[in-house]
């Protein structure tokens, strides 16, 4: 049967795992020969949930291999250096590892201390105007002829190319995300191609924190069946759909483990000492979220009314800055609210958002990772969904925590009554579910770290591929 979330050892507040495997015999390994190539799932680094997963995983890699080189595939090298100074950006057009000489290290240090912070400030200042321009262009494209639209889309796309950095890597690690699904075909194909090339070269491959499906696209199904059975290890963030999909692909159950989301530890670390007093709110309006204007109106009214009844502030929580999707969906809902809190700025970090979550008594969110941040801190949530994609995300998350998450469908004919009732019940339940939620978070942290232990052993149990450049 599939691996459960039973940990190899107990995660402690000093961020270590007590286990017979936690101190492996690595006497024959020169860590400087280890190169970990990380597929982070979101190359633009505009989703703070994805950044949180990457942050935790990189920290764990660095704890184990302090002197290894960790490269992350990205379209935003300077921003990556600002967010995670301990990693190396792997970016186009060459998609190669940088020089390991002192000149290369000096260049990366300069990028971290100078260019990275400047890139964050520039992006924060310019994203708003650029997003408005994109919206205008998108509106104009709806009136284009099909062949014109196809040509422009092709010009704006990025080729699914195989990074040259694979050939000099000791391990290829695909970080968690919900991209192995029909609604994100590009990223799903990119990851599958990456894993396939590494497997052809005899390089260990692993996937962690994965949320799989819905997945019915025949091309994706065929490619997943061709490649995923050869992955050395796959850790799933839920057991609702992923295990059955992997069985259908032909993946051996012994290579699979259900661990929970890697951002659970990120959220848990920021738990507060007292129960919050506000209601956190996030509505993502995107093609894949399928939210109607009528549902938006009802959602905003119900949340504002419940906040007034409980003398609570409404906190807009922004997890994704991609095309301003969370800001554009959430901020209009605050109009008319008696008391609000300012959102994080466009240059804000995942840490900033997690701290805002800590001040809430409950969340109402259509963004999955905000629910992860909340539940991990012991804060209950109402997950709002209007698509099968988010049904799976929230119901899978609810199974992992066992309590504290109510799922409400925005296409429910009785939305106003059901949403109002869910908010009231979750508000009342907040003190009782606080400790059970945190206990579930610790169990998932244990399991996630135990899963990564299996990834470590893929490298440590065999010869490390020495870099040729």
Q: What digits encode the pLDDT tens for the residues 278-304?
A: 999 999 988 777 889 999 999 999 999
Domain membership flag for residue 469: no
Q: Does residue 448 share a domain with residue 436?
A: no
What pairing do the DSSP bridges indicate for beta strands 405-409 and 205-212?
A: unpaired
Residue 4 belongs to some domain of the structure: no
DSSP annotation of 35 = E
Beta bridge partners of 371: none
In a domain, 465, yes or no: no
Q: Does the N-terminal peptide bond of residue 381 adopt cis geometry, omega within 30 degrees of 0? A: no
* CATH number of the domain within which 190 lies: 3.40.50.2000
Same domain? 356 vs 452:
no
In a domain, 151, yes or no: yes
278 lies in the same domain as 135: no
Q: Within its chain, how far is the Cα of 197 from the centroid?
A: 24
Same domain, 315 and 343: yes
Is 40 inside a domain boundary? yes
15 and 63 in contact (C-beta within 8 Å)? yes
Helix (H) or strand (E) holding 102: helix 102-110
Domain count, the chain: 2
Q: What is the DSSP string of 180-207?
A: ESGGGHHHHHHHHHHHHHHHHTT--EEE
CA distance 221 to 209: 20
* Together in a domain, 254 and 274: no
- Same domain for 100 and 52: yes
| 15: confidence class by pLDDT, cuts 50, 70, 90 | very low
Check pLDDT > 90 for residue 127.
no
Residue 197 lies inside a defined structural domain of this protein: yes
Do residues 375 and 304 share a domain?
A: yes
- In this structure, what is the dihedral angle of CA atoms 418, 421, 422, 426, given to the nearest 10 degrees? 180
- Strand, helix or coil for residue 438: helix
Q: Do residues 238 and 292 both lie within one domain?
A: no
**Three-state secondary-structure class, residue 71:** strand
**In what helix (H) or strand (E) does residue 179 lie, and over which residues does it extend?**
strand 177-180
- How high is the pLDDT of residue 148? 32
Tell me, yes or no, whether 229 and 299 share the same domain.
no
pLDDT at residue 363 is higher than 70: yes
Domain that holds residue 137: 10-265+444-460
Confidence of residue 28 (pLDDT cuts 50, 70, 90): low
* Contacts for 312 with CB less than 8 Å, ≥ 6 apart: 277, 278, 279, 306, 339, 361
The tokens describing 457, both together, are 């052993």
Closest CA to 302 of 140, 454, 414: 414
- Same domain, yes or no, for 80 and 216? yes
Q: Given a cut of 50, is residue 353 above it in pLDDT?
A: yes
154 is a domain residue: yes
Residue 137 has pLDDT above 60, yes or no: no
Q: pLDDT (tens digit, 9 = 90+) per residue, 73-118?
A: 999 999 999 999 999 999 999 999 998 655 455 555 555 555 778 8
Rg (CA), the chain: 22
User: Percent of the chain at pLDDT above 90?
Assistant: 75
Say yes or no to pLDDT of 35 above 50: yes
Residue 263 in this model has a pLDDT that exceeds 80: yes
Q: What's the rounded mean pLDDT across residues 268-272?
A: 97
Give the torsion sign (CA, 53, 58, 63, 64).
Answer: positive
Nearest CA to 200 out of 166, 249, 161 is that of 166
Residue 467 lies in a domain: no
User: Do 247 and 166 share a structural domain?
Assistant: yes
Same domain, yes or no, for 201 and 276? Answer: no
User: With contact defined as beta carbons under 8 Å apart, do 399 and 239 qualify?
Assistant: yes
> Angle between the 48-64 and 368-376 helix axes, to the nearest 10 degrees?
50
> What is the Cα–Cα distance from 170 to 187, expressed in whole angstroms?
22
Rounded distance between C-alpha atoms, residue 23 and residue 40, angstroms: 27
């Amino acid at each position: 049967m599939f691996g459960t979330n039973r940990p190899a050892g107990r995660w402690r507040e000093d961020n270590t795992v007590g286990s017979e495997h936690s101190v492996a015999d690595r006497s024959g390994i020169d860590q400087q020969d280890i190169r970990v190539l990380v597929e982070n799932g979101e190359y633009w680094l505009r989703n703070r949930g994805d950044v949180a997963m990457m942050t935790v995983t990189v920290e764990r890699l660095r704890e184990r291999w302090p002197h290894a080189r960790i490269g992350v595939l990205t379209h935003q090298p300077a921003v990556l250096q600002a967010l995670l100074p301990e990693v190396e950006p792997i970016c186009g057009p060459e998609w190669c590892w940088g020089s390991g000489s002192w000149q290369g290290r000096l260049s990366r240090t300069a990028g971290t201390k100078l260019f990275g912070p400047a890139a964050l400030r520039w992006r924060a200042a310019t994203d708003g105007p650029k997003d408005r321009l994109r919206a205008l262009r998108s509106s104009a494209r709806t009136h284009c002829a099909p062949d014109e639209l196809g040509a422009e889309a092709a010009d704006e796309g990025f080729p699914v190319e195989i990074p040259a950095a694979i050939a000099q890597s000791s391990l290829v690690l695909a970080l968690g995300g919900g991209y192995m699904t029909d609604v994100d075909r590009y990223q799903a194909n990119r990851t599958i191609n990456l894993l396939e090339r590494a497997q052809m070269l005899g390089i260990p491959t692993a996937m962690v924190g994965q949320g799989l499906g819905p997945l019915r696209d025949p091309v994706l199904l065929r490619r997943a069946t061709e490649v995923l059975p050869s992955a050395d290890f796959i850790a799933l963030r839920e057991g609702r759909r992923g295990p059955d999909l992997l069985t259908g692909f032909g993946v051996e159950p012994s290579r699979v483990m259900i661990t929970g989301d890697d951002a659970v530890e990120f959220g848990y670390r920021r738990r507060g000492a007292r129960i919050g007093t506000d209601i956190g709110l996030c509505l993502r309006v995107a093609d894949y979220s399928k939210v109607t204007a009528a549902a938006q109106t009802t959602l905003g009214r119900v949340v504002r009314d419940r906040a007034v009844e409980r003398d609570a502030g409404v906190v807009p929580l922004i997890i994704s800055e991609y095309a301003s999707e969370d800001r554009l969906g959430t901020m209009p809902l605050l109009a008319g609210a008696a008391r609000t809190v300012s959102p994080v700025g466009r240059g804000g970090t995942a840490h900033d958002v997690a701290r805002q979550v800590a001040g809430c008594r409950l969340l109402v969110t259509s963004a999955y990772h905000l629910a992860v941040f909340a539940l991990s801190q012991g804060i209950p949530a109402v997950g709002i969904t209007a698509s099968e994609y988010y049904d799976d995300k929230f119901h899978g998350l609810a199974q992992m925590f066992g309590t504290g998450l109510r799922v409400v469908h925005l296409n429910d004919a009785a939305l106003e009554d059901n949403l109002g009732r869910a908010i009231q019940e979750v508000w009342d339940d907040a003190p009782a579910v606080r400790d059970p939620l945190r206990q579930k978070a610790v169990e998932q942290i244990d399991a996630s770290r135990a899963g990564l232990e299996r990834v470590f052993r893929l490298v440590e149990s065999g010869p490390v591929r020495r870099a040729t450049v």
